[in-house]
Structure 1
Amino acid sequence: MITEQQQSLHQTLPGNTIRLADRKVYSDSFLPFYREGMDLVEEAASYLDGDGREESRGLSNEAAALYASESMRLTSRLMQIASWLLLQRAARNGEMSRAQVTAEKNKLRLNTPSAEQNAAGWSEMPDRFVDLIEHSLRLQERVRKTDQEVYGELLSFRPPVQQNPVSQQLVLLKTAFGAS
């Protein structure tokens, strides 16, 4: 059952039609999605700290470097997914307003890529590690689609702000030497 506070968070369309995507987040159908994401975070952490550490010791140097970079990508991807899920849970539980959730979710970057399967060393990756990567990529895509359905925008596909490296260095120098 949706509370009045949750109902006020729903975006309505003309004719007081409630968006079905909002129901996905504010109804009990969100719980399996949330649980899947959190379980994957726990499973990946357990694997990387245990079996994954052992399995990576036998990799060639090239594959070990790929494993290390993919581990970081996997961890980053899962932390962003978990953050999004926690924000939706907070909104669902009435702990945050839609505006607060929108402001916080705009800080997330749900576009963490993975190396291509034809990358040097990929064929040596442990099967369970590859399964975790593939599952996280599928889940990331589902989160992005759900976010677009609920909030009406593609999350995290805004191009990064490009700053002039020379200007950045000048600012650092001015700061360091107290120049104005």
Structure 2
Amino acid sequence: MWFSARMECVTRIPFALMLCAMWFAGCASFETTNYSGDFVRPMDVSSLETFSYRHTLISGMVVRNSSQELVMKELSRQVLIQELATRGYESVNEGGDFYVVSKWRKEINASAAEVVRFSLIVELFEGATNKVFWSAELPYIFNAMQWSEQRVDQTLRLAIQDFPARLEISSQLPNVE
């Protein structure tokens, strides 16, 4: 009798350890898939008409002046200018009401199955104050093996999707002041 009780205990321990290992493995690869941009401080967007694209910063494990870096810089500029123009903002070379900065980072994410991953931050700054008023952060958005021009393009569009279209103020509306 004592032998069968002891054997039952011995078989339960490995089973419990196996369940714990599976649970921890599932938690280690958990990643957020809900990405959105939002205002980081109050801003009257009705006053915004023009914007300029300032620059793209690339950091981390990207080889400097590689074709990958050059493609990411050019696509960032093209896609973000196109997306903001589609929303009714006018692109200017300098001196816009606001400007755009994109930041790519290639880094190690030890909690994911694919260790080397890209992250993207898109920030919009008020031209007069140089203070950020809107930001979208997409951490570990895709792994290095998934890199393609199409994937970079899709990621940039995803980052800016929540920025509102330009508001046209009608002179026919009554003044509430």
TM-score, with normalisation over the residues of structure 1?
A: 0.22
Larger helix fraction of residues: 1
- Structure with the greater alpha carbon radius of gyration: 2
